Amino acid sequence: MSDPLRLGIAGLGTVGAGVIKIVRQKAALLESRSGRSIRITAVSARNRDKDRGVSLKDYGWEDDPVTLATRDDVDVFVELMGGSDGPAKAAVEAALKAGKDVVTANKALLAHHGQALAELAESNGAVLRFEAAVAGGIPCIKALTEGLAGNEITRVLGVMNGTCNYILTRMEDAGLTYDEAFAEADGLGYLEADPNLDVGGIDAGHKLSLLASIAFGTQVNFEGVELEGIGNITIEDIRQASDMGYRIKLLGVSRMTGRGLEQSMAPCLVPASSPLGQLTGGTNMVVIDGDQVGQIVMRGAGAGEGPTASAVMGDVIDVARGLRMSTFGQRATDLVAATPARATTPAPYYIRTALVDKPGALAKVAAALGEAGVSINRMRQYDHVDDKAPVLVVTHKTTRAALDDALAAINGLAVVVAPPVALRIEQV
């Protein structure tokens, strides 16, 4: 019989406690599926005395996660502390230098240091796995690195921050303003300590950069992600997009083009009838387009104790089975440094503005669009409110450069009383 696989867990928050519960409660199942027993030998956290709802009495304790990472009785270092630098980075580096395998849920760490850590793992004969870092319980990393390895990936997109999806869903379903929905999410404990990580698109941008690296064989480049949060989305945008048959989502989109790697995390419109349009609450969805398989849609819980701990244990079991795989699906030294490209692939756009109550105002907007080479698909003018008329335009496919020219021209019109807002429409 194989020796037990011994885990050292650093970080005993919600996910860490969830991992301990699975190892304790599912021991026979884990052994039958991996071919060896899986045990926890030692743990580390900031506060030893905190009640986490699980007993730690059978495990060694280390105040310093770096010490935990290098213990002789730890085969796999499980990093669940979070943070792009500091103790998490130091401990993961120490484990890899010692030739120990690492399983992490830390998207920020990998988004900023993934290439260096992948190279460090390979040079020391270790593996670095991170299924839990992207979309919680959805096995999207495994899908890209294994199940879809025979495909050329043409596009990766998805909703990868449940908090933003919750806020946008509540705005539509309950008629809440952005500030009201934000406050509700905060009261439910959905927001990070720094809310901008969620609503500013940073958390989801980290995840997109990791998926793009695997999908397109490139070095992780979070700095190349165009980020735009949801803070400027109004209840009017929500309602008017719905009138046009769309829903607004904070959508990550990545594709390789002749200009370079496009990575965008920004509010987009999607057809209300599409899988992404039907996504509600805190659920995540990852969509992958492959040249052989077509479109794959994966939907599930993007956070929480059970789903994220499930993803951690999926990686642990793969290590127990002896699966040795490069961090991003191919050797780190073979990954190319992709040229960042602004997301300029032609697409239709939603434009919102407001005009003065004067004859010919709408015609001036249409003329500005036409002069910039932007073709109108649909246009709708709403009833006047306080002598202002809200106007919506859905364009045919156009480049971002042409759209920017049109927006600048519209903003300069004397009949325009609200700066135009434009949101990309992503076809799914």
pLDDT digits (tens, 9 = 90+) for 220-237: 999 999 999 999 899 989
Q: What number of CA atoms fall less than 13 Å from residue 363's CA on the CB side?
A: 3
Ordered DSSP codes for 69-101: HT-TT-SEEEE-S--SSHHHHHHHHHHHHTT-E
pLDDT of residue 345: 80
pTM of the model: 0.92
Which carries the bigger pLDDT value, residue 387 or residue 284?
284
pLDDT of residue 1: 54
pLDDT band at 190 (very low <50, low <70, confident <90, very high): confident
Give the residue ranges of DSSP H helices in 149-201: 162-174, 178-187, 196-199
117-166: pLDDT as tens digits: 999 999 999 999 999 999 989 999 999 999 999 999 999 999 999 999 99
pLDDT of residue 395: 95
Q: Is the pLDDT of residue 188 over 90?
A: no
pLDDT of residue 33: 95
269-318: pLDDT as tens digits: 999 999 999 999 889 999 999 999 999 999 999 888 899 999 999 999 99
CB atoms within 10 A of CB 379: 15
Q: Is the pLDDT of residue 386 over 80?
A: no
Active site residues: 207
77-96: pLDDT as tens digits: 999 999 999 999 999 999 99
pLDDT of residue 193: 83
pLDDT of residue 374: 95
> For 81-95, 116-130, 173-187, 372-386, which range has the lowest pLDDT when averaged over its residues?
372-386
Burial of 2 (0-12, 13-18, 19+ CB in 10 A): exposed
Residues in CB range of 399: below 8 A, 6 or more apart: 344, 346
pLDDT of residue 427: 82
Report the share of the chain in percent with pLDDT over 90. Answer: 80
244-278: pLDDT as tens digits: 899 999 999 999 998 899 999 999 999 999 999 99
Distance in angstroms (rounded) separating the CA atoms of residues 401 and 285: 29
Q: What number of CA atoms fall less than 13 Å from residue 391's CA on the CB side?
A: 25
pLDDT of residue 304: 86
336 DSSP assignment: B
